[in-house]
Amino acid sequence: MNFLLNEEQTLLRDSVRRYVEKEYSFANRLNYAASGEVNRQALEYMVSQGWMAAGLDENSGGFGGGILESCLIAEELGRAMPLEPYWALAMAPTSLLSSLSTPSASTLLKNILDGNVVASPLIRGSVGKNESISAKKVSTTDMLITGAGGDVYGLNALSHILVVANIIDGNSIERGLFLVPLNAAGLNLNSLTLLDESLSAKLALSEVLVSSDSLIATGDEVLAATQYAEHVAVLGLCSSAIGMMAAVIDNTVEYLKVRKQFNTAIGKFQSLQHRIADMKIAIEESRAIIHRAIAKTKYGDVGSATAVSEAKYLVSKNSAFVAAQGVQLHGAIGLTEEFVIGHYFRALTVCSHILGTPYEHLRNLASNNDYFTID
């Protein structure tokens, strides 16, 4: 498999890195985390640069890119540990809506790409978790949505949530995708501040009244599109973790150059150089398995779900190693609030525990009877 980027992909990656270095500093992040406010400038910049549409073809309003282009953006933004998760606010909703054939989905997708709507899908709390949300018709134009389950990410940036519910009409049940405003009566969000200062929430809906205009799509395509969007979201999250791991290595290498012991920079100690090498091997191993999962997901390979679980498990395992090594090589200063390396440790811990923990993904792989069979 060829992991080399073409010219357009390289330019895209470099432009995002320049933005992060210039506009999204660690101090900037700390200020927004302390205030609880959303970085509107960051969201507007993503829209203006076309990053929201990076993974879409031209027919869907994009520039002919794919999952890889979106993952490149997620990786570079990951270096800044953004409080506005690109994978949740851009990759998940656009991949979901672009996979649907209805005019409502196309209209909503355009509004998201233009920055008029900030929406994210309700994500299942763990691998294979059953949905428990239903919609019941109360008139020819209105429905009531009731139920709970799933998580919302990038909470302080959202205006709407995309919710999948089972539409009950007499004896028939059909799956539907709804666009629900964040301020809808009966919509309750149990807000959570995660370990990395980002915001998420558990969703509960108590007879939320929605009109037929809120119904984006129905039928089997909703299930297929939702599964695809969840896979893309996991790959985006893993790519963000790659960016954080790279930043941990960069910061650690710089620290080892200036920290002295016995009048010698400790970066010259061979044992510490070996540990940096192990960290770099872990990140390249993670990149390789993400590329494999991207290829399988892009082409609808029958093994795409397995490949995504493999990627999430391995990236979570490797990111825990890299983060721990980064803190240990810094010593006690790495645990202080003012020093960036501890924040990367916390952000990578969050990445490994959302969208399915590594152990949940490993169990998911183990449930495949043929997966561990040796030919």
Q: Are 204 and 233 within one domain?
A: no
Q: Which residue has the tokens 């006690």?
A: 332
The CA distances from residue 211 to 143, 208, 214, in Å, are 6, 10, 6
CATH number at residue 180: 2.40.110.10
Per-residue three-class SS string for 57-113? CHHHCCCCCCHHHHHHHHHHHHCCCCCCCHHHHHHHHHHHHHCCCCHHHHHHHHHHH
What is the predicted pLDDT for the residue at 269? 72
Look at residue 182 and tell me if it is in a domain. Answer: yes
Look at residue 124 and tell me if it is in a domain. Answer: no
Q: Are 196 and 162 within one domain?
A: yes
DSSP bridge partners of 165: 176
Residue 17 CA to residue 250 CA, distance in Å, equals: 14
CATH number at residue 29: 1.10.540.10
Q: What is the four-CA torsion angle of 354, 360, 361, 363, rounded to 10 degrees? A: 180
Look at residue 372 and tell me if it is in a domain. Answer: no
User: In the chain, how many domains are there?
Assistant: 3
* 103-157 residue pLDDT tens: 999 999 999 999 999 999 998 754 445 558 999 988 888 999 999 888 999 988 9
Q: Are 345 and 230 within one domain?
A: yes
Among 160, 130, 175, 136, smallest CA distance to 148 is for 130
What is the predicted pLDDT for the residue at 208? 92
* Last-in-domain residue among 87, 119, 151: 119
* Last-in-domain residue among 75, 91, 119: 119
Q: Are 187 and 230 in contact (CB under 8 A)?
A: no
Q: Are 179 and 228 within one domain?
A: no
What is the predicted pLDDT for the residue at 129? 53
Look at residue 25 and tell me if it is in a domain. Answer: yes
Look at residue 317 and tell me if it is in a domain. Answer: yes
Look at residue 141 and tell me if it is in a domain. Answer: yes
Among 286, 237, 288, 196, smallest CA distance to 91 is for 237
Question: Do strands 199-211 and 215-218 pair parallel, antiparallel, or not at all (unpaired)?
Answer: unpaired
What is the predicted pLDDT for the residue at 34? 84
Look at residue 214 and tell me if it is in a domain. Answer: yes
End-to-end CA, the chain: 23
What is the predicted pLDDT for the residue at 375? 45
**DSSP H or E run through 216:** strand 215-218
Type of residue numbered 91: M
CATH number at residue 273: 1.20.140.10
Residue 143 CA to residue 165 CA, distance in Å, equals: 11
Q: Are 247 and 187 within one domain?
A: no
Q: Are 51 and 177 within one domain?
A: no
DSSP bridge partners of 160: 119, 181
- The whole domain housing 210 covers 133-219
Beta strands in the chain (DSSP E): 119-121, 133-137, 142-153, 160-169, 172-181, 187-193, 199-211, 215-218, 260-261, 264-265
* 250-262 residue pLDDT tens: 999 988 887 767 7
Residue 101 CA to residue 114 CA, distance in Å, equals: 20
Q: What share of the chain is helix, strand, coil (3-state, %, to 5)?
A: 55, 20, 25
Q: Which residues neighbour 369 within 8 Å (Cβ) at sequence distance 6 or greater?
A: none
Residue 201 CA to residue 203 CA, distance in Å, equals: 6
pLDDT tens, the chain, 375 aa long: 556 888 899 999 999 999 999 988 888 888 888 887 888 999 999 999 999 999 898 888 888 889 999 999 999 999 999 999 999 999 999 999 999 999 999 999 999 999 999 999 998 754 445 558 999 988 888 999 999 888 999 988 999 999 999 988 877 888 999 999 999 999 998 888 999 999 899 989 999 999 989 999 998 899 899 999 999 999 999 999 999 999 999 999 988 887 767 777 776 677 878 889 999 999 999 999 999 999 999 877 778 889 999 999 999 999 999 999 999 888 888 888 888 999 999 999 999 999 988 888 888 888 776 555 554
What is the predicted pLDDT for the residue at 128? 47
Look at residue 243 and tell me if it is in a domain. Answer: yes
Q: Are 61 and 181 within one domain?
A: no
Q: Are 228 and 361 within one domain?
A: yes
Q: Are 198 and 285 within one domain?
A: no
Count of other CB atoms within 10 angstroms of residue 264: 9
Question: Do strands 160-169 and 172-181 pair parallel, antiparallel, or not at all (unpaired)?
Answer: antiparallel
Q: Are 162 and 96 within one domain?
A: no
Q: Are 246 and 315 in contact (CB under 8 A)?
A: no
Residue 101 CA to residue 311 CA, distance in Å, equals: 29
Q: Are 227 and 324 within one domain?
A: yes
Residue 108 CA to residue 103 CA, distance in Å, equals: 9
For residue 353, give both structure tokens: 């525990």
Q: Are 205 and 150 within one domain?
A: yes
* Last-in-domain residue among 65, 96, 119: 119
